[in-house]
Amino acid sequence: MQPVIVQNLSKIYHSKQRQGLFKSSRREVHALKNVSLEIREGEIFGLLGPNGAGKTTLIKCLTTLLLPTSGRAWINGYELTKEDDAIRATVGCMLMGERGLYWKLTGRENLVFFGALYHLPPAERKRRANEIIERLNLGEIADRTVETYSSGQKMKLAFGKALINDAPLLILDEPTNTLDVPSARELRAMVRELNQEGKTVIYTTHIMAEAETLCDRVAIIDKGRVIASGTVAELKESLGQETVIRLEGVIPQQASEAVRELSGVSQLAVTAVNGHNLLTIVTPNQQHLLPQLIHTLTTHGAILRNITPQEVTLEDVFIAHTGRTLAEDTRE
């Protein structure tokens, strides 16, 4: 059985657009547009996309928090909107990170409480809470109120909360968002470990490197649509002969526009990095293009600091499809 099947799922929000103090107009936001996915048992499936792409909306639909406007989905064999209780019982979720915890309760009290809401018998709740505390090395802080935890400890506890019902499917929405590098690495290692124990994982992130190292397959979402999906290798291969050149420096807009006009530039994205610009160029012919690039940029006033021909990354796949980087917020 496929743990997740999504068929043509769409979600339209209605929001008010303020026009002055008293006036507002109704606005339709198409957060998901005919999304279709199949997630296989035992895989780590990455949902990748910039902020505002629709990842969290999709996750909220799949976890029954939002009703889709159209389309169908089955989670662990249960049909969305028809068997929502069963879906919730068979999914472990980490959404909104540390915000989903009661700060005046201890870590252990939080876990036992959520165990009760997942309908675990009292003895089972305590046993599961103890297991999670031990597994996540939370023993020293488990009996302190959550308000005294560091941000990383809160995220760890929130991750533990997702494990309380021992669900076969874990849905983790940007779980490393506020973590420092070592804590993020530790959490990813735990996700891998749980996956090896047989759990299917849906992992949303806007960090491409994270998806590359962790996920078996990924779907790239942009503006509510799945624009590409497959294994990391498949997605990279989908660029064919295309390669990537990154140029860093002071690059005026007219210089980057001039580059865009060059034949041999398939896609181009500009990002601001540490007061400089980073130009990412996808091209089928790196060697032929490079001298032209340098010439065009310098004649248009660019001061180049660094030129790096690179291997294709998932970010480049995204750029190749959209002409934008993942750093851009695409929220409508």
Partner 1 sequence: MRSKSPHQPSLSLIISAALAETKLRLINISRYPGQMAMEVIIPIIFAAMPMLLGQATAGDNAAANFQANTGTANYFAYLLIGASTFTIVANAFWHIAYWVRFEQETGTLEAVYLTPTSSLTLAAGVALYSAVRGVGSALIAYFLGALIFRFNPLTGNLLLALLFLFVGLIPLYGLTFLFGALVLKVKEANALINLMQWVVSLLMGIFFPVTLFPPWLRFIAQLFPPTWMVNGVRSALLGIGYFLENWYLDWAVLWAFLIFAPLFSIQVFRRVEAGLRRNEGIGTF
Residue pointed to by tokens 């796949």: 317
Stretch that binds partner 1, among 35-43, 102-110, 203-211, 251-259 (CB under 8 A): 102-110
Looking at the Cβ atoms of 161 and 217, the one nearer to partner 1 is: 161
The strand pair at 217-222 and 44-48 is best described as parallel
Query: Quick check: 2 binds partner 1 (CB under 8 A)?
Result: no
Query: Quick check: 199 binds partner 1 (CB under 8 A)?
Result: no
What would the two tokens of residue 269 be? 């994205």
How far apart are the C-alpha atoms of 236 and 137, rounded to whole Å? 37
The strand pair at 225-231 and 217-222 is best described as antiparallel
What would the two tokens of residue 153 be? 């400890």
Stretch that binds partner 1, among 90-98, 293-301, 305-313, 316-324 (CB under 8 A): 90-98
Query: Quick check: 266 binds partner 1 (CB under 8 A)?
Result: no
Query: Quick check: 63 binds partner 1 (CB under 8 A)?
Result: yes
Read off the DSSP letter of residue 193: H
Looking at the Cβ atoms of 34 and 145, the one nearer to partner 1 is: 145
Which residues from 141-180 bind partner 1, rule CB under 8 A? 145, 161
Tell me which of 65, 190, 258, 294 binds partner 1, using CB under 8 A: 65
Those residues whose C-beta lies under 8 Å from the C-beta of residue 134, and which sit 6 or more positions away, are: none
How far apart are the C-alpha atoms of 3 and 74, rounded to whole Å? 8
Site track 3-32 with partner 1 (rule: CB under 8 A), x = hit: ----------xxx-----------------
Q: How many CB atoms lie within 10 A of CB 244?
A: 23
The strand pair at 91-94 and 78-79 is best described as unpaired
Stretch that binds partner 1, among 58-66, 178-186, 291-299, 322-330 (CB under 8 A): 58-66
How far apart are the C-alpha atoms of 76 and 47, rounded to whole Å? 18
Query: Quick check: 38 binds partner 1 (CB under 8 A)?
Result: no
CB 315 within 8 A of CB 327: no
Could you tell me the smallest distance in angstroms from the CB atom of residue 145 to partner 1? 7
Query: Quick check: 240 binds partner 1 (CB under 8 A)?
Result: no
CB 200 within 8 A of CB 42: yes
Query: Quick check: 99 binds partner 1 (CB under 8 A)?
Result: yes
How far apart are the C-alpha atoms of 1 and 298, rounded to whole Å? 57
Tell me which of 45, 74, 159, 318 binds partner 1, using CB under 8 A: 74
Cross-strand pairs, 17: 25
Tell me which of 73, 101, 201, 235 binds partner 1, using CB under 8 A: 101
Tell me which of 18, 27, 40, 119 binds partner 1, using CB under 8 A: 119
Tell me which residues touch partner 1 (CB under 8 A): 13-15, 60, 63-67, 69, 74, 77-79, 83, 85-86, 88-91, 93, 95-96, 99-105, 109, 112-114, 116-122, 145, 161
